Homo-oligomer: A and B are copies of this chain.
Amino acid sequence: MLEKMFNPDSVAVIGASRNKEKVGYAVLHNLIESYKGKIFPINPEADEILGIKTYSSIEDIPLDENVDLAVIVVPAKLVPGIMENCGKSGIKNIIIISAGFKETGIEGARLERKCVRIAKKYDIRFLGPNCLGIIDTSSDLNASFSAVMAKKGNIALISQSGAICTSALDWADNRNVGFSKFISLGNKADLAENDFLSDLIDDSSTDVVAAYLEGVKDGPGFIEMSRRVSKAKPLIVVKAGRTAAGSKAVSSHTGTLAGSDEAYDAAFVQGGVIRADSLEDLLEYSRAFSMYDIPQGDDIAIITNAGGLGILTADECQRQDLSLAGFEEKTIDELKEKLPPAANIYNPVDVLGDADPDTYEYALNTVLEDENVDGIILLISPQAMTDIENISSRVAKIIQSATKPVLCSFVGGTKISAGEKILTGSGIPNYTFPERAVASMRALSSYRKIRKKEYHSPPVIEADRDTVARIIEKAQEKKQRTLGLEAFDILKAYNIPVVEKEIAKTLPETIEACESIGYPVAMKILSPEITHKSDVGGIRLNLTSRADVEKAYDTMISSVRRYMPHATINGVQIQRMIEGGREVIIGMNRDVQFGPLIMFGLGGTYVEFLKDVTFGLAPLTENEANHIVSSIRTYPLLAGVRGEKPHDIGCIIDTLLRISQLSLDFPQILEFEVNPLVVMDEGKGCTAIDMRLTLRES
């Protein structure tokens, strides 16, 4: 779709400049240095720049010249006019490098919206504004003001920050890392991550997709797109603005609303994205993927000439959920045969401090052949006898033809650098410390599971949507924003089992209700103002007789009156007591970027103090609902411990799916919570005991 943006027949640079300090110079210069097609510099005050004929405006370019791409570097306020001209001249792809738009405030945002309107009118797609531009190494296009051209390679980098692009290019330049495409997103007024991700799925020059994002433009679309990308190639993302401090910084940077990190985490899991925790991880993981095959399992071997480094690596493997491979007997025999007697021939293999290139080569080849080994981490400490250059050359040759990943960590500085240079020259990374090699191995391995993942459609949920619509409408008419027990019919409409209950407004009504439901019962205060009923004495449990109920009614009402003298009391609700079972909570709130974010956890203190909760984004599939439930740390309490019967997890999953659908069906619902949902033994179902719902201001 964006074919002509990355591989144009000819390019116009609007705002080309002969002043070396100006961006308009840098862009033109970069294009001339890289690009083989025709270039049209536009500058009303020059006849030629850098030896190329210059036009005073787009309209002056002869009509038979097919300008596929225009790069705009003029001051912001001139951009809309220029876009009009581009539109009239039939240019369909534009990169707006100029800054001074949304990121500067209201006036800039207005200008930006104007650009979007013009683009729509002329069917133009544009990148930016406020970006560095793009680089495509397969079409030799550097349409950016970056001072460095990317080396050819198989990594596509998408970045919402131009300066991150610059740092990444400089990092890569020093490490012989190449890119297929470099895309600086800027303000994402039109084209955004999803558009480029879509293009990269079938881009044969790209094997790895890496992205620095401060937010996504279309959350649900991002999940969908990530699934498609990650089926084809690894997609690694670092998300800036994870914390409150960071997301405050984001909004002052590009005016993006960052959204909650829980939502991003859920989106990344549901979309098959490998999340990098830092820019360093993003770059290192990408480099690993660009170079190595995916390990076929999690069993890792370590080869080292330094016991201490081997131990640190073993520690980190375990911390990263990788295991140390148990060697085949053949391997042990072969290592025993040729390694010195003091060497450790088990994993980690210690070839000893004086190991020569032959020994390293032999050990590496032997361990590579072991079928129990899925990947290798090879360590070197530059000891007195260590022939770092020859070891590096031998090892590099083996790695290049190996079908299992062999990640190197040569640990040191001065003496290591000769070996590092040899590795780098062969396109092999050196991880400066073993922990970094392990982290990259972990990333490689995680993609194996992602690629195998199957995505199903969310189930079709039958529901009486009319009833829910009526309840919400009525509440809105009454300007009531919070609904509680009285809205249980919403749950019923979605076939979520609710506790048997009746509402009573007086003591006699209450007694009648109790006798009809049957003892034991629970009694709860009904008041729109009271959200934490137990805090004001608004809940009485386990009432077993008429006398109990009479006493409880009086003390409850007076307790509530004392705590909240001005609360409207609409009566009490009588519920049958549910005996046994395990309490869980299902909640929903709306993330600004991804929509309904569903939360799950065990009831009570587990949620509140231990934050033992998991999240998923609607629409949930059955697999995803299952994942959410089984990912809490206290899952064993649901699955059954010490011979306890398992609880009805199927019923929880079903309820999650129904609430996911409800949240999608009714965007008027801002927040929603079923708390508690009591889950009985397997096959015995679950029951919603209480709920709370907040409506959007209408």
Contacts and interface: CB of A to CB of B under 8 A. Distances in A.
A305 interface: yes
A305 B162 CA distance: 11
A438 B660 CA distance: 39
A148 B254 contact: no
Nearest to A144: B384
Nearest to A240: B311
A531 interface: no
Nearest to A380: B167
B433 A170 contact: no
Given A146-B384, A311-B253, A610-B634, A166 B245 contact: no
A305 B433 contact: no
* Range class of the A interface residue count: 35 or more
A308 interface: yes
A160 interface: yes
B164 A280 contact: no
A241 B315 contact: yes
Contact of A609 (B246, B316, B634): B634
A316 B21 CA distance: 34
Contact of A246 (B99, B315, B344, B642): B315
A584 to B, nearest CB: 14
B250 A311 contact: yes
Contacts of A1: none
Nearest to A261: B315
Contact of A173 (B160, B164, B413): B413
A180 interface: no
Copies in the complex: 2
Interface in A510-559: 532, 535
A317 B245 CA distance: 8
A173 B243 contact: no
Contacts of A26: 384
Contacts of A348: 249
A104 B246 CA distance: 52
A246 B317 CA distance: 9
A423 to B, nearest CB: 15
A163 B353 contact: yes
A306 interface: yes
A107 B298 CA distance: 37
Contacts of A342: 99-100, 104
Interface string A207-247: 00000101000000000000000000000001011111110
Contacts of A280: 432-433, 435-436
Contact of A249 (B314, B434, B643): B314
A442 interface: no
A279 B146 CA distance: 35
A21 B356 CA distance: 13
B164 A381 contact: yes
A299 to B, nearest CB: 12
A308 B240 contact: yes
A383 interface: yes
A414 B312 CA distance: 30
Given A104-B342, A317-B245, A306 B167 contact: yes
Interface stretch (A86-94, A318-326, A368-376, A462-470): A318-326
Nearest to A175: B413
Given A166-B381, A170-B413, A382-B170, A240 B315 contact: yes
Interface string A416-449: 1100000000000000111110000000000000
16 contacts: A100-B342, A146-B384, A147-B383, A148-B414, A163-B308, A167-B309, A174-B414, A240-B312, A243-B314, A243-B315, A246-B311, A250-B311, A253-B311, A253-B344, A253-B350, A280-B435
Given A163-B306, A174-B412, 8 more contacts: A21-B385, A163-B353, A240-B311, A240-B312, A253-B311, A278-B316, A280-B433, A605-B637
Interface of A: 21, 23, 26, 99-100, 104, 145-148, 159-164, 166-167, 169-175, 212, 214, 238, 240-246, 248-250, 252-254, 277-280, 305-312, 314-319, 323-324, 342, 344, 346, 348, 350, 353, 381-385, 411-417, 432-436, 532, 535, 605-606, 608-610, 612, 633-637, 641-643
Ordered nearest first, which 8 A-B pairs have the shortest CB separation?
A174-B413, A161-B308, A163-B306, A170-B412, A246-B315, A253-B307, A243-B318, A163-B381
